[in-house]
Amino acid sequence: MDILKKIEQYRSHEARLKWEGTFADYLKLLKEKPWVAQSAHSRIYNMIRDAGVEEVNGQKVYRFFSHEMFGLEEALEKLVEEYFHPAAKRLDVRKRILLLMGPVSGGKSTIVTMLKRGLEAYSRTDGGAVYAIKGCPMHEDPLHLIPQHLREDFYKEYGIRVEGSLSPLNSMRLEEDYGGRIEDVLVERIFFSEDKRVGIGTFSPSDPKSQDIADLTGSIDFSTIAEYGSESDPRAYRFDGELNKANRGLMEFQEMLKCDEKFLWHLLSLTQEGNFKAGRFALISADELIIAHTNETEYRSFISNKKNEALHSRIIVMPVPYNLKVSQEERIYEKMIRESDVADVHIAPHTLRVAAMFTILTRLKEPKRGDIDLLKKMRLYDGENVEGYNSSDLNELKKEYQDEGMSGIDPRYVINRISSAIIRKNIPSINALDVLRSLKEGLDQHPSITNELREKYLNFISLARKEYDELAKKEVQKAFVYSYEESAKTLMDNYLDNVEAFCNKSKLRDPLTGEEINPDEKLMRSIEEQIGISENAKKAFREEILIRISALARKGKRFDYRSHARLREAIQKKLFADLKDVVKITTSAKTPDEQQLKKINEVVARLIDEHGYNSTSANELLRYVGSLLNR
């Protein structure tokens, strides 16, 4: 009953939004709400802006896209700020076709779909309200009724510019139905709907021999010629082409660059002059955004043909590369799995991250700088702190290649291989090794991967496997250390006491005997050696720690083992090193004794309760880490 109530509420809401009145009433409405007369480009820009904009690390993030598009913040900022924003301000870019260019499964069609669905919802809000001449098949702007010679006066009074001419059908209706009285013409509020063909159109080319230009511009209704007496009578014309129906909104031109030339020439006039030719009529005005998408190969082929120069000059190309951030790639996989029928399968922690690492490595280009390898580059791109590198290094890396992210493995391939791993394993749990194995097997079946590329990708799978080995060991390390946080804190406090005494050239007091003792050099070195601090570098490292403590204290903050990334890593490795033998014996014992079994059960429980594993994946992780430690 709840869903039926919601349907009824939606129907009531739709009824309340409806509005109808005369052109005179519409002008009164314009006085109160001048924004309802905005252009199609302006409406789309305002729709994106009204959803919210936030700045993250100097990067604009548009909430309109953020719940569906991951890792494409730079491309989306460029799209909004270099196309939609100036187009909304009536600058010349609105006279261009928007062409999204990028690799397969990179998000181009998702962007278009989001704009379509967004417009449908936005036209039902106060800020996105759209009004049209009632009964017009093209949902024509009522302001086209204002004669050309009065438009300057209208601008002075209302501050609204009027562009476009009244269509042939509405010109006839104005004379015959309203006796030329513009103020009496009926106006209604319309709601965009792709299904009902209101304000949103989609054109997909088919066989050039059979497809008719009428699909774009409408056609003569021959059954009415006898009634109206002429093919040039607008009442004998069906204004039902995609360009007609998408007026006031957006038209998606699928596979535009594969289309026959006769279809593309109509777009020249529409984009540059805001009108197109249909039947035996004068030019018909239309206000709509034409958006198309293609891959790089097709685009290069298109611009190499000299015959396409006129159209090429009327296209703005916006690159939509693959995401290059591991954490965002994980979100893409999570979303795709959530929308699938395998959403109930348990996916062990780090599984999607390891798959994402492999994918991102295939998309990155080898750094030109000798001091940065692909793994460091991957971490920097994902916003991780990499010792010795900062934001200027990241910016330098991003400038090395203009076309980075335009090639590599696509998300659909990875999801297909994850699905394959789930089906083949036939149990309700998969881990990172299952997915890496499936990715490796899938390379042989991938039609576009050469032998050279396959070897390169196999190397990336090996790199991802090594990264997983470290993650797996850390995960078990945390689970084995009872009250891990407490153990780490105790070890760090002990280390800091000794460091402070060392730097101040003072002594420590033994908590049991009360006697003064020298700083424990053996303890300090056992921790520092975990992260490769040499004997010569130990003094500088210890002083750096004290400076960090002092800086935090001045700000009223307390230093803990998370305050210094390298010290945290050293503490974790030291704890694990101390426990390694216990872990090795416990995880690899074929017939564990009672004490070992109790410890294993405790660790499994902790992996389930605190780290997101289930019983199957936790036991698999322990067995795998045991085998790693025994090598």
Task: Report pTM.
Answer: 0.84
Cα–Cα dist 469/431, whole Å: 12
Report the pLDDT averaged over residues 286-301: 88
Cβ neighbourhood burial of 548 (10 Å; 0-12, 13-18, 19+): middle
State what percent of residues in the chain have pLDDT above 70: 95
| CA dihedral for 477, 480, 486, 487, sign (positive or negative) | negative
Report the pLDDT averaged over residues 120-146: 95
The torsion angles phi and psi of 236, rounded to 5 degrees, stand at -95, 10
Element (H, E) at 275: strand 275-276
Cα 592 to Cα 448, 473, 599: the distances in Å are 49, 20, 10
- Asked if pLDDT for residue 383 goes beyond 60, the answer is yes
Among 436, 421, 411, residue whose Cα is nearest residue 331: 411
Choose from 525-529, 592-596, 602-606 the range with maximum mean pLDDT. 525-529
Report the pLDDT averaged over residues 557-584: 79
Report the pLDDT averaged over residues 215-219: 82
pLDDT at 123: 95
Report the pLDDT averaged over residues 323-329: 95
State what percent of residues in the chain have pLDDT above 90: 44
Among 44, 46, 47, 49, residue whose Cα is nearest residue 60: 49
DSSP string, 563-618: SSHHHHHHHHHHHHHHHHHHHHHHHH-SS--HHHHHHHHHHHHHHHHHH---HHHH
Mean pLDDT, rounded, of the chain: 87
DSSP string, 420-462: HHHHHH-SSEE-HHHHHHHHHHHHTT-TT--HHHHHHHHHHHH
Kindly indicate the confidence band of residue 301, based on its pLDDT and cuts at 50, 70 and 90: confident
pLDDT at 116: 96
Cα–Cα dist 295/302, whole Å: 11
Cβ neighbourhood burial of 411 (10 Å; 0-12, 13-18, 19+): buried
**Which residues, other chains included, contact 106 with Cβ-Cβ below 8 Å and sequence gap of 6+?**
320, 321, 322, 410
pLDDT at 212: 73
Report the pLDDT averaged over residues 604-622: 89
Parallel, antiparallel or unpaired: strands 250-253 and 289-294 = parallel
Report the pLDDT averaged over residues 521-550: 90
Kindly indicate the confidence band of residue 590, based on its pLDDT and cuts at 50, 70 and 90: low
pLDDT in tens, 33-60: 999 999 999 999 999 999 999 988 778 9
Two tokens at 249? Answer: 């909104």
Report the pLDDT averaged over residues 259-285: 78
- Asked if pLDDT for residue 137 goes beyond 80, the answer is yes
Report the pLDDT averaged over residues 502-514: 83
pLDDT at 255: 78
Cα 102 to Cα 43, 294, 320, 373: the distances in Å are 26, 7, 5, 26
**Which residues, other chains included, contact 543 with Cβ-Cβ below 8 Å and sequence gap of 6+?**
503
pLDDT in tens, 450-464: 888 899 999 999 999
pLDDT in tens, 96-109: 889 999 998 888 99
- Give me the half-sphere count of Cα atoms (radius 13 Å) on the Cβ side of residue 527: 25
200 close to 194: Cβ distance less than 8 angstroms: yes
SS3 for 168-207, per residue? HHHHHHHHHHHCCCHHHCEEEEECCECCCCECEEEECCCC
Cα–Cα dist 79/108, whole Å: 12
- Asked if pLDDT for residue 210 goes beyond 70, the answer is no
Report the pLDDT averaged over residues 148-165: 93
